Amino acid sequence: MDHLVFEVGTALVLVAIGAIIANKLKFSIIPFLIILGMIVGPHAPTIGIFDFTFIESNEIIQFLGRIGVLFLLFYLGLEFSVGKLAKSGKNIVVGGSVYVAINFILGLLYGFISGMPWMETLIIAGLLSVSSSAIVAKVLVDLKRTANPETELILGIILFDDIFLALFLTTMSGVLLASSTSFLGIFTSVLISVGYMFMFFVIARKGAPLLNKWLNIKSDEIFIIVIFAILFFVAGFSETLHVAEAIGALLLGLVFSETEHRDRIEHLVVPFRDFFGAVFFFSFGLSIDPATLADAIWLALGAALLTIIGNFVAGMIAGRKANLSHKASTSIGLTIMARGEFSIIVANLGITAGLSPILTPFTALYVLILAIVGPLMAKESKNIYMFLNKFFKWSKDKEKRKIEVP
């Protein structure tokens, strides 16, 4: 047991070192933690008496990482009001539909051109379509962009993407795992997922007065126990209905965002979000075996390039449809580019069903590339916009339209 605690302690020291280095370089800590996890993962070599592999404690670190995803998504939900969602519903549905459709179609074409069988092609299309809510949420917080005009649409697209993911996973689970191969079985599962999500929206809109009364707890200690108990219960219960536990956390955050206790919950959750969120990205790095990456490098590079192009185009269309500036539209496409936990979940479904083994290294490398490139492009979105503006003359068009107005 002492050895186990020492391993977890060593992992946390490495996470802290990665965070300090990233802070010194003024860069997102996400790529640092993923690469660090990969370097010291179960397949890392032992150098002399130093062995940084986390074999015995790997499951515990992975579990702490799962908690990190819950806190990241819960916080994301708190930041995103259902009232705003209802108000901006049209823009979010249009933006989300454009985003999912472009990426899914590109994924289908890529799988077909690569010579993949149909089921593998569907899995690739699915994992190319879902951005990483955890990384996007972290990037928005790190870059202090939660109050930007385009952030509302970014969060809306993420939410729409999550709903698509739930429907996709439910449908593909029925098809691949053969537990519900009939049309009626698949349709019932999808209906349950959609009904469950709709229930949270209704509670958020109608249940706020009752929640305000129930959460009127003076003691911070009891308050946080109650909030965390509800969070973990709802997340776990969601999974029993084949709705991802992270989406359950997101929906619960949406409900609490409508109460008068929102600021108090946010204040208490932030330290847990930062700590467990960092462990999540480290634990993801631990799951990658560097030796398997070479087999899928070109396949992953092609998919990553396609995703960058597809996300930029989708972000630009969604932003302009919502009457946002070219600069804000550029930021949308570049911010939601990162891929992470959900892509891995989609790939695992195919792997569990016995599809091609290439899915494992392909997904690991694809996610790693975009987990590094995504936050980097989000950070440099202003410079990328200025570079593109030299060719497309967006700001000039804006000035021209202003002059034409009588």
* Alpha-helical regions (H) of 25-57: 29-39
Cα–Cα distance between 265 and 216 in angstroms, integer? 12
DSSP state letters, 249-262: HHHHHHHHTTSTTH
- Lowest-pLDDT range of 167-171, 257-261, 394-398: 394-398
**What per-residue confidence (pLDDT) applies to 56?**
64
Q: Is the pLDDT of residue 231 over 70?
A: yes
The three-class DSSP label of residue 57 is: coil
Q: Which has the minimum average pLDDT: 86-95, 113-122, 225-234, 351-360?
A: 86-95
Rounded Cα–Cα distance for residues 68 and 77 (Å): 14
Query: Which tens digits make up the pLDDT trace of 307-355?
Result: 999 999 999 998 888 888 888 889 998 988 888 777 877 887 787 778 8
At residue 310, the pLDDT reads 93
pLDDT at 397 over 80: no
* pLDDT recorded at residue 186: 66
Which domains does the chain show, CATH number per domain? 81-275+291-392 (1.20.1530.20)
pLDDT of 180 above 60: no
Distance between CA 74 and CA 339 in Å, rounded? 19
Q: Is the pLDDT of residue 228 over 80?
A: yes
Confidence at residue 153, expressed as pLDDT on a 0 to 100 scale:
83
Tally of CB atoms within 10 A around 395:
15
Tell me what pLDDT residue 300 has: 93
Residue 124 has pLDDT above 90, yes or no: yes
Q: Indicate the pLDDT class of residue 274, thresholds 50, 70 and 90.
A: confident
CA distances from 52 to 175, 242, 275, 282, 396 (A): 41, 36, 21, 13, 55
Main-chain dihedrals φ then ψ at residue 257, nearest 5 degrees:
-65, -20
pLDDT band of 101, cuts 50, 70, 90: very high
Residue 265 — pLDDT band, cuts 50, 70, 90?
Answer: very high
Question: Tens digits of per-residue pLDDT, 142-157?
Answer: 777 777 878 878 878 8
Integer angstrom CA distances of residue 170 from 217, 233, 286: 38, 21, 28
Residue 103 pLDDT greater than 80, yes or no: yes
pLDDT category at 69 given cuts 50, 70, 90 is: confident
What is the band of 207 on the pLDDT scale with cuts at 50, 70, 90? confident
What pLDDT sits at residue 35? 81
Mean pLDDT of the chain: 82
Give the per-residue pLDDT at 405.
46
- Of the two residues 397 and 191, the one the predictor is more confident about is 191
Q: In this predicted structure, which of 294-298, 316-320, 396-400 has the lowest mean pLDDT?
A: 396-400
Residue percentage of the chain with pLDDT more than 90: 18
Q: How confident is the model at residue 179 (pLDDT cuts 50, 70, 90)?
A: low
Instruction: Over range 289-312, report the average pLDDT.
Output: 88
Q: Which helix (H) or strand (E) holds 380?
A: none
Please give the Cα distance from 179 to 40 (Å, whole number).
Answer: 38
Compute the average pLDDT of residues 231-257.
Answer: 84
Average pLDDT of span 378-394: 86
54 band by pLDDT with thresholds 50, 70 and 90:
low
CA 170 to chain centre: 18
